[in-house]
Structure 1
Amino acid sequence: MNSTNYSSMFSGYNKLPDAAHYVFGVLFTFLNVAATSGNLLVLFVFMMSSKLRSGHCFLVSALCFSDLLMSSIGLTMLTIASFSTYWVLGKMACTLYGTLMTFLGLSQITLLAVIAYTRYLVVVHSRKIGTISAKIIALACFAYSLCFALAPLFGWSSFELEPIGTSCGPNWVGIALDDISFNLTLFFLCFLVPLSVILFSYTMVYKKIKKRKIRKKSEGYEIHVTTTILIMIVAFLGSWTPYACMALYIVITKNNRINLVVSSIPLLLAKCSPVWNPYIYFMRNHKFNQECRKLLPFLRHLGLWRVNPREQSVVTQQQVTSSLQSSTYV
């Protein structure tokens, strides 16, 4: 199998130049290193810190675990294919790659929808979910996504090479009834439904915040966390929405005369999705920052974490007091 066979389906355009594939290979390598290291650090801190054992933190860790698999396995396969300038891994690997990336992509948006709904429960109804409930919810999200990801293996559509020629995904250009039905089902049940839950949740949160004043410090923290999750959702949608729109356009119009350079941009954006979550958490979550500084003090020099000025003054005061006491004893 080579990329020329697939590129012929997008008639009027040859395969991407080798130089473009090499550039993509370098970009995917960078994304792989950034996403894998970031998600590994987040998962390490979540596992080692007893203060980050809430239901919310478990759902975020499940999201980061999905990101980790997408970067460490998916982006690695994509990088190998990019430097080879075509899908060199064979048909079976193409199917496995398509299954894995579909499963992880659906898991991410499903988990984000659930996390958004839990923020709605916390801010609007002052209800938090426990760790056990969060584990059950996460497993349900993974099971839901797995059902759709495995469907092509049982004859409902198939996974094929994508326009860029170095990655695989659902058969968007298929004209058979099973291809069309599967693609539309993915778009509506696995993209629009979670997106509707997200929009509903944050609309309710916005209305609640607009009506009341923040009276307690804990309320301010919950709103800050909710805003952090919103940023993560926007980053995810920014990565995947162009890809989803391109796929829906192909499914509806059956227009396969797509410029390969143009079609590669949504694919590239989609592969950026596992990078955002850990670094957004690095920058935004104060409790996570504190635990990072305790467990990974050598990373302070990278300037990844903001230090609360009040907290810094306390630390400085403690250091001065300690030095004065030691000088007194001398």
Structure 2
Amino acid sequence: MDAFRAPENESLLFSSSGPARWNPFHHPLDSIQPWHFRLLAAVMVVVTCLSLVENLAVILVTFKFKQLRQPINYVIVNLSVADFLVSLTGGTISFLTNLKGYFYMGYWACVLEGFAVTFFGIVALWSLALLAFERYIVICRPLGNMRLRGKHAALGIAFVWTFSFIWTIPPTMGWSSYTTSKIGTTCEPNWYSGAYTDRTYIIAFFTTCFIVPLFVILVSYGKLLRKVRRNTQGRLGTTRKPERQVTRMVVVMIIAFLICWMPYAAFSILVTAYPYIELDPCLAAVPAFFSKTATVYNPIIYVFMNKQVLYALKVSLTSISVM
């Protein structure tokens, strides 16, 4: 069997309007009104444009100003790169397919979108886990005065990309697959299959790419909270004010990311556990599209909770307006 061939029973979903087999690569789902697709296309073009502009601004500003070239900012830039690529691939494809109302680009574009959104999304989550671990090292100092340096940031970033690639490439090679969602205009890992190989991949994927980084985040900030409680003034001990501000910023970024992705994670767990559950396609699409808005919030949080970055951005905008 060719691992790259479209799965016969997995990419073709049943229409909620009847027993006839519906091919999402050939025409829209009959039960959904055309204006629903146009609304999703409008949402995606706004989210995609905002994300591309904001994340590109963070990347350029950070590399333009020498004072911003700090190890922790490299990790944040890595997060912006991941968010930028999510929007460039998944956001653009999703906008175009919703204009048509079905995945007219074909199976290979579906695989590309499913892989790209999953891959870059996991890179973003592991980047946040890396930031949380860095805050734990800096604030709690379990290794004395050791802190994240340039070589540590580079090693962490290399691990994030390599690990994420290892766990998101298997569906393109035969272990599970990337397939269309119930609405037919976006692609994702095959949550809906009850096949043994698909379920084993989903379980392994969730464990390594969601539960483990979430565990790192929770443990890191759990230890941080304990340090806060030990301090009689209710602050981060003798930690300098800039470090406390960075810690708060990272906490807010993690909370915003989890708010966006938790509904989709919960939905994915539900359909994996009950693959034949009947869900309204529009309702099932909400968590997936909502998760894509996470790419918009991180740059805003990074800029407005970091005075150095905000000042650098203002200087850049002023220099552009003067030209």
Band of TM-score, shorter chain:
0.7 to 0.9
Consecutive unaligned residues of structure 2, counting only runs of 5 or more, are 1-5, 19-28
Q: Secondary structure at the match of 1:51?
A: helix
Residue equivalent to 1:142: 161
Residue equivalent to 1:30: 46
Deviates more, 1:249-258 or 1:5-14: 5-14
Percent of residue pairs bearing the same amino acid type: 26
CA distance, structure 2, for counterparts of residue 273 and residue 162 of structure 1: 19
2:252 aligned with 1:231: yes
The residue type paired with residue 101 of structure 1 is V
Q: Secondary structure at the match of 1:256?
A: coil
TM-score, scaled relative to structure 2: 0.87
Residue equivalent to 1:327: none
| Shift, 1:11, TM fit | 7.0
User: Per-residue CA shift, 1:70-120, capped at 9, x if unaligned?
Assistant: 112210111000111111110011111111111111111111111101011
Deviates more, 1:209-218 or 1:15-24: 209-218
Residue equivalent to 2:208: 189
- Alignment counterpart, residue 284 of structure 1, candidates 302, 305, 314: 305
User: Per-residue CA shift, 1:230-275, capped at 9, x if unaligned?
Assistant: 1111111111111111111111122331111211110111111211
2:79 aligned with 1:59: no
CA distance, structure 2, for counterparts of residue 107 and residue 146 of structure 1: 9
Contact 2:228 2:237 in 1 (8 A): no
Contact 2:175 2:198 in 1 (8 A): yes
Contact 1:9 1:256 in 2 (8 A): no
Computing the radius of gyration from Cα coordinates, the structure with the larger value is 1
Residue equivalent to 2:21: none
User: Per-residue CA shift, 1:111-157, capped at 9, x if unaligned?
Assistant: 11111010111111153211121011101100000011111122110
TM-score, scaled relative to structure 1: 0.85
| Shift, 1:293, TM fit | 2.2
| Shift, 1:45, TM fit | 0.6
**1 or 2, which has the higher helix percentage?**
1
The residue type paired with residue 172 of structure 1 is W
Compared with structure 1, are the counterparts of its residues 8 and 215 closer, same or farther at alpha carbon in structure 2 (3 Å cutoff)?
A: closer
Contact 2:227 2:237 in 1 (8 A): no
> How many residues were matched structurally?
297
| Shift, 1:289, TM fit | 1.3
CA distance, structure 2, for counterparts of residue 296 and residue 76 of structure 1: 26
2:121 aligned with 1:105: yes
Within a 5 Å distance, the mapping from 1:89-104 to structure 2 comes to 89-104=105-120
Compared with structure 1, are the counterparts of its residues 201 and 153 closer, same or farther at alpha carbon in structure 2 (3 Å cutoff)?
A: same
| Shift, 1:165, TM fit | 0.9
Deviates more, 1:263-272 or 1:61-70: 263-272
Residue equivalent to 2:150: 131
Consecutive unaligned residues of structure 1, counting only runs of 5 or more, are 301-330
Q: Secondary structure at the match of 1:156?
A: coil
Contact 2:79 2:124 in 1 (8 A): yes
CA distance, structure 2, for counterparts of residue 270 and residue 42 of structure 1: 21
